[in-house]
Structure 1
């Protein structure tokens, strides 16, 4: 199936980069939020370059949407890379206190350095960045214990920069930073589209749903104890084992949705995004 490559509002990129650069100038600590279902696809290749030598806390949100064994495998993998990942379910608040503690620990180090240079300590300034829809606003609201940030479904909803005091030691920028991206990696772009972490992008729903089915077949053999393909069979009455993703959508459309492939594709993607198909990871740690 050929359709144009997935792009996420390229017209806004320059503006988004300027906004992000402005935000990053003013902060000491960056909380980088990724989607636990696709931790690598939601890593922006330029993050380390943008952050420079600032403190960074890596947050993997939606831990409730991946199997516990995959969660453990990712913890192990990130630690091997020298990183400490913090897994959260921002909607429920799970894991958020540990994130606040990590920010505070970085803040204490920064203030110790200030004292060593004869300067007064001050509240540490933090910002939350990540792709659209990965749960940045929910995390900010949890950290602040109140609903301050609009959880907008469309990307680029950034208002005036406003600092909100979390504690005596931490101030948080209440506007999440959106990572600009030209999405040169189309494999990652498809995963972002499947997980709806891409904002209102122009993408082909049927192509994305077909890619989702194909991807499930790739990860299924490595997901021990999770019968992903059986889940599709139970939910839709059609076993994907011998079909390509594209054929699966077409056959299912004929069987259940009066030949409407678009409706079929939307149904499958929505079921996945709402967790109706169960806890499914679309990426596993590189072996």
Structure 2
């Protein structure tokens, strides 16, 4: 497993600013990638937010099968979590999140009234790893494009408050990532799903790990049907070489990017890279 570390200066700065702003926040929207809900969870977020209400958003639900969504729903529910599944790009599931955030505001303003204070909009923050769909979610919550969104890590660079309605104000924050990625298998999943900056990894190594993961998770049949090369009698690294020499005149980088982009854009189909613990593919 290659070593992947990525902690650019803008993320370090944003993390410091985010911690300062969290005191002003009433509710936290944590956004995870549906293909890798565990690997895309920042382990320090529970510590940062303490007892604040948290709305768990599992984005890119269109990129996993419905059966896997049901498995994650059962697993999170069993662990006393209420997951909200969204496709922020298309707007699916966003209204339920808005309603949940507004409910938090009702409870907050009841407490303010009890203390003789005037009601105010609920203040929410959107937190998550880079490129999990935070900006796309905010644009859907607003009903218009106000923050830049793109299919790469590191687009949002600064914190900013935006008003959704008279009832909700939202803090958009850059993606946050641990200063050190302890679990390198999870780091590779982040790289494959493009939830980490491309400077942190080698495309050929990640493509090889993707092939190995597809075999491990019983999705290997996708590869021969798409590329006419069976992965079962070779390693992921050998597969990238075989694809490069068979299709691209030995250009291994082109072969690696083909594999990664076909997965990232959904051309291979709806494929999760994680299942709930104790649930097999």
TM-score by length of 1: 0.91
Report the Cα offset of residue 70 of structure 1: 0.2
Report the Cα offset of residue 51 of structure 1: 0.8
Instruction: Detail structure 1 runs of 4+ shifted over 6 Å in the superposition.
Output: none
Report the Cα offset of residue 154 of structure 1: 4.3
Q: Could you tell me which residue of structure 1 aligns to residue 214 of structure 2?
A: 216
Could you list the runs of 5+ residues in structure 2 that have no partner in the other structure?
Answer: none
Report the Cα offset of residue 162 of structure 1: 2.7
Between the aligned partners of 1:113 and 1:200, the Cα distance in structure 2 is 46
Contact between 1:129 and 1:176, CA under 8 Å: does it hold in 2?
Answer: yes
**1:176/1:11 CA distance change after superposition, 3 Å:** closer
Report the Cα offset of residue 7 of structure 1: 1.4
Between the aligned partners of 1:278 and 1:79, the Cα distance in structure 2 is 27
Q: Could you tell me which residue of structure 1 aligns to residue 220 of structure 2?
A: 229
Q: Could you tell me which residue of structure 2 aligns to residue 279 of structure 1?
A: 270
Q: Which digits, 9 at most, give the CA deviation of each residue in 1:240-280, with x for residues without a partner?
A: 12221111111121211111111111100000000000000
**Does residue 255 of structure 1 match 2:255?**
no
Q: Could you tell me which residue of structure 2 aligns to residue 178 of structure 1?
A: 175
Between the aligned partners of 1:61 and 1:139, the Cα distance in structure 2 is 9
Report the Cα offset of residue 140 of structure 1: 0.1
State the number of aligned residues: 276
Report the Cα offset of residue 26 of structure 1: 2.1
Q: Could you tell me which residue of structure 2 aligns to residue 77 of structure 1?
A: 75
Between the aligned partners of 1:171 and 1:12, the Cα distance in structure 2 is 24
Contact between 2:7 and 2:177, CA under 8 Å: does it hold in 1?
Answer: no
Alignment of 1:70-219 (within 5 A): 70-152=68-150, 153-155=152-154, 157-159=156-158, 161-164=160-163, 166-173=164-171, 175-181=172-178, 182-219=180-217
Q: Which digits, 9 at most, give the CA deviation of each residue in 1:144-174, with x for residues without a partner?
A: 000000115341633463331x23321112x
Q: Matched residue of 1:115: which SS?
A: helix
Contact between 2:148 and 2:155, CA under 8 Å: does it hold in 1?
Answer: no
**1:158/1:69 CA distance change after superposition, 3 Å:** same
Between the aligned partners of 2:155 and 2:63, the Cα distance in structure 1 is 25
Could you list the runs of 5+ residues in structure 1 that have no partner in the other structure?
Answer: 221-227
Q: Could you tell me which residue of structure 2 aligns to residue 223 of structure 1?
A: none
Report the Cα offset of residue 239 of structure 1: 1.1
**1:117/1:219 CA distance change after superposition, 3 Å:** same
Single out whichever of 211-220 and 65-74 deviates more from structure 2: 211-220
Q: Matched residue of 2:120: which SS?
A: coil
Q: Could you tell me which residue of structure 2 aligns to residue 26 of structure 1?
A: 24
Q: Could you tell me which residue of structure 2 aligns to residue 224 of structure 1?
A: none
Name the Cα RMSD after superposition: 1.6
Report the Cα offset of residue 85 of structure 1: 0.2
Between the aligned partners of 1:212 and 1:127, the Cα distance in structure 2 is 32
